[in-house]
Amino acid sequence: MVLALFLGLAANQCSGKSSPTNPGSGGSDAGEGGVGGADASGGKGGSGGKSGSGGTGGVGGSAGTGAAGGAAGSVGTNGGASGAGGAGTAGEGGDGDPGGGVAGDAGENGGGGAPSTFVPTDLGDRLVLWLNAGALAQANGDKVAVWSDLSTAANHAQQSVDAYRPTYTASAVNGLPAVTFDGLQSHLQLDDTPTLRWGTGDFAILVVARGAPSEATNAMLYQKSNLASPFAGPNFYVNADKPSASRRAQIQLDQSTYTGTFFGVDDTVPRLFGGTRKVVNTTSELAMRLNGVTETMLMRSSVVDIDAPGQPAIIGHNGYTPNSGFQAFEGDIAEICAVKGAMTADELSELESYLMDKYALP
């Protein structure tokens, strides 16, 4: 464009004519006179050059493209709400057009996760006990003679002595039913079976319960142990006396193998109590869990055999010595699940979540 303007200016200085808009190119010098003519006139001056053409205008820059919308939100777990996609940002303007591109559309919402459908029987034959008070077809205040096991092991909890039977409470643990023990002599008994002999392997026992303030020491939630010292077998209780008298919950495998909660639990608050053992080679990891979280863990280089053959399992009391108030639990038990064998961390979490969600535990 600069070259065109320069040529036009030079033409204007040399031409006999000019273009109305741009200078013309210069004409030629006057022609020579005609030969032989007298007083011949000079030739015509050369015509003016054509005007220079204007330079081509620069092409405007295209508008910037808007940024893409945000990615879809992640799928929620166990029915969680979907996440919303983020809105796109405006694109930058091109050189010829100062305006930015149109903003990208917002990303679509992610799909919500399906609610969990887990039930304890999903554990198959590893589930060896499932007592659910909600499955009892009884009226409020009725005595409970049989609490049927919902697992395939059919380890039903029973009491043949009318005076020792606990009662059914229709609304006990956050509005759901429970079996209520009086802290005196009420208890239920389960026959000794191979599925309740947990030997030197992995196990888990989970109990949804609400204890009343009680003075009974080692008030039994679940017990199956030998009668002779060191009383090997799973003993799960509150108001533990080891290493000193307390109101803590505790899981014990013999007199020197036990672990419990940090604080007392005799405050009528419903909780999920859990006792688990995991065996790796010859190392035992015994854990006391509360509301789905490990409170304490005891690791030992040896493994206690907790079969206790010939001994029944007992709920709510030390029924081996059925004296009034002896190691007797006072309060409500809504549900018990026991697992014989190894579970993955996810399986344990699913089982605990099932119970905690059902009873609206914190």
**Stronger pLDDT, 39 or 239, i.e. the higher one:** 239
Question: Which of 9-18, 183-192, 300-309 has the weakest average pLDDT?
Answer: 9-18
Numbers of helices and strands, H then E, in the chain: 2, 16
Residue 21 vs residues 12, 54, 81, 206, 302: alpha-carbon distances, Å: 11, 11, 72, 99, 108
Q: What is the pLDDT of residues 21-70, one digit of tens each?
A: 333 343 333 333 333 333 333 333 344 334 344 344 444 444 444 444 44
The stretch 2-6 carries a mean pLDDT of: 33
Do the Cβ atoms of 286 and 259 come closer than 8 Å?
A: yes
Quick one: CA dihedral 150, 358, 134, 250, positive or negative? Answer: positive
Average pLDDT rounded to a whole number, residues 237-252: 93
Identify the pLDDT of residue 55.
41
Only one residue has tokens 């009668």, namely 227
Average pLDDT, the chain: 79
pLDDT at 147 over 90: yes
Q: Do the beta carbons of residue 248 and residue 260 sit within 8 Å?
A: yes
The more confident residue out of 121 and 323 is 121
Please, which residues bridge with residue 275 across strands? 205, 288
Q: What is the pLDDT of residue 5?
A: 31
Residue 72: CB atoms within 10 Å: 16
Are 346 and 353 in contact by the 8 Å Cβ rule? The answer is no
pLDDT of residue 2: 36
As a whole number of Å, the end-to-end CA separation of the chain is 80
Letter for the amino acid at 304?
Answer: V
**pLDDT band with cut points at 50, 70 and 90 for residue 75:** very low
Phi, psi for 9 (deg, rounded to 5): -65, -40
- Which domains can be identified in the chain, with CATH numbers? 120-358 (2.60.120.200)
pLDDT tens for residues 95-133? Answer: 444 455 555 555 555 555 567 899 999 999 999 999 999
